[in-house]
Structure 1
Amino acid sequence: MKRRSGVILRRAALVGALAGLAALAGCGPPPTLVKRHGYWADQSVQATAYNHRVRFLVLHYTSDHADRALRVLTGPRVSVHYLVGPDPATRDGQPIVRQLLPERLRAWHAGVSSWAGRHHINDSSIGIEIVNLGPINAPGTPRRWQPYGDAQIRAVIALARDIVTRYDIKPANVVGHSDIAPGRKIDPGPAFPWHRLYEAGIGAWPNPQRVAYYRAQFIQQKPDVGAIQRKLADYGYNLPVTGQMDARTHTVLRAFQMHFRPTTVDGVADDDTLARLWALDERYR
């Protein structure tokens, strides 16, 4: 009888201890209650009407070597979210890229800029700097551009694909610094393989059949300057419609060519350039 009573008492004690632990646990804050400085934030109910801060992905080159670029980008005047080196290290067969800022923070990489009717693109973008010198020509020689490495571009593709997928960034909103600041900036330059990114599912590119169609049209009759300016503005470039082939229009045409027709970057509104512009606008805008 004593033994049975002892078992009962031990069981009662265990039940009481478990109940005490449960009560103690119940006294703690639920996981949706977050303590901050001077108050608690109740996150148990979440709003559903919102959109992402990030609408654009901007690609740059550093115009400098990796070590100095890293010092500059972690200094007091300029910053970026990601830095891709010339020959990225790998882990488990996948490239390693430097993340210098959390994506939720506003990096200082775009400067005075605009795209698709929005200004101050730092506010709504993620920036990727790619280690590349850009122009490498000696004085008095034709301009040459440093090529991008294969492993480097594979790392850029992996990073960019992840970003555009998570934020649902539209193809025409994957841009170069030269697109959002024509004339002031020329990176990532005509050596950057935009078409390779497009083939990997990143960014925009004109349909070749539609390019051929518009090229044939423009051989017969070229659009007037006002129409060209409107198409460039519709696609995203900050360009007023003046009806004059002014310096600003030539600058924007060069930026467009660096992205979509890099074999000849001269700012001339030739049939091939215009055909690509019309095909892009038709496809994406």
Structure 2
Amino acid sequence: MKTLPLLALSLLLGGCAGGLRFDDSQRSVDHGSRVEFIVVHYTSSDLDESLRTLKNGGVSAHYLLPAEGDKVYRMVDEQRRAWHAGDSQWRGRTWLNASSIGIEIVNRGYTDTPHGRTWQPYPPAQIDTLIALLKDIQARHGVAPINIVGHSDIAPQRKVDPGPLFPWARLGAAGLIPWPEPATVQERLRQLDGQVPGTAWFQHQLARVGYAVPQHGELDQATRNVITAFQMKYRPARHDGQPDLHTAALLLALPD
């Protein structure tokens, strides 16, 4: 009695032996790239250690940029998920590993000294290479400029990379990200007329731009961390997490 089922199974498997047959003649026009975000990081280490970590350390990124800017290491295929964003949120989307491309930049980040925190600058050639890579990815995947972000933008409670010395203004000048025009910032300062808005206003504006920020109207540490992340990006000379007129004007000068 067991012979017939076994015979049927063998015939079924035999029929699949040639593999699946796909017909590509009828294709849907309703589709898009899975990539919605590009996240920029620094590695906090030198090139050798960065390569070891990204290959074997339980964390990964799609691309790694050496300081010399002479090459780009492709670590993970763009169609695969890399483990670089972690617990993250931007413009209402969470856990961005599945929908982003991660770019790690070889840079030691910061060192805490008796005289304060010092940050490592980014060589111009490295940023030239980054800009070329970002333009290539953006063109192929249609990533919106507002969605090219730093790790500190999407995880401001636990990350500070790529730090205040990362030249976001160069990315703005290259048309890669929204950047507040100086004339617009001055006009917004005039409109504010010396009045610093309340904490709830800052929380609302930061959320409008894309940040995950409390909305309870209190200037707690979580809110200050988000303000700091915004200031590191748009006003790196002073990133103390304190709401002030210039920060308010910068927020008002950015589009939705």
TM-score, length basis structure 2: 0.90
Structure 2 match to 1:80? 61
C-alpha deviations, 1:175-233, integer Å up to 9, x for none? 00000000301000000000011111211211212211111222432222212111101
Please name the residue that 2:134 is paired with: 160
Task: Please give the residue correspondences for 1:130-279 in structure 2 after superposition, counting only pairs within 5 Å.
Answer: 130-137=105-112, 139-279=113-253
Q: Conserved in 1, the CA contact under 8 Å of 2:195 and 2:245?
A: no
The aligned counterpart of 1:20 is: none
Q: Choose 232-241 or 216-225, whichever is displaced more.
A: 216-225
In 2, Cα distance between the equivalents of 1:226 and 1:83?
39
The question of whether the paired residues in 1 share the 8 Å contact of 2:69 and 2:127 is answered with no
C-alpha RMSD over aligned residues: 1.6
Identity between Structure 1 and Structure 2 (%): 46
What corresponds to 1:120 in structure 2? 95
The alignment partner of 2:21 has SS state of strand
Native 8 Å contact 2:87 2:95 kept in 1: yes
Relative to 1, partners in 2 of residues 1:159 and 1:36: Cα closer, same or farther, differing over 3 Å? farther
Q: Give the structure 2 partner of residue 99 of structure 1.
A: 74
Contact 2:41-2:103 within 8 A present in 1 as well: yes
The one-character-per-residue Cα deviations of 1:150-187 (angstroms, maximum 9, x if unpaired) are: 11111001001111122121111110000000030100
Q: Secondary structure at the match of 2:111?
A: coil
Counterpart contact for 2:86–2:96, Cα < 8 Å:
yes
- Which of the pair has more CA radius of gyration? 1
Q: Distance in 2 between matches of 1:70 and 1:62?
A: 10
- Equivalent residue number for residue 68 of structure 1: 49
- Whole-angstrom distance in 2 between the partners of 1:233 and 1:71: 36
Task: Tell me the TM-score normalised to structure 1 length.
Answer: 0.81
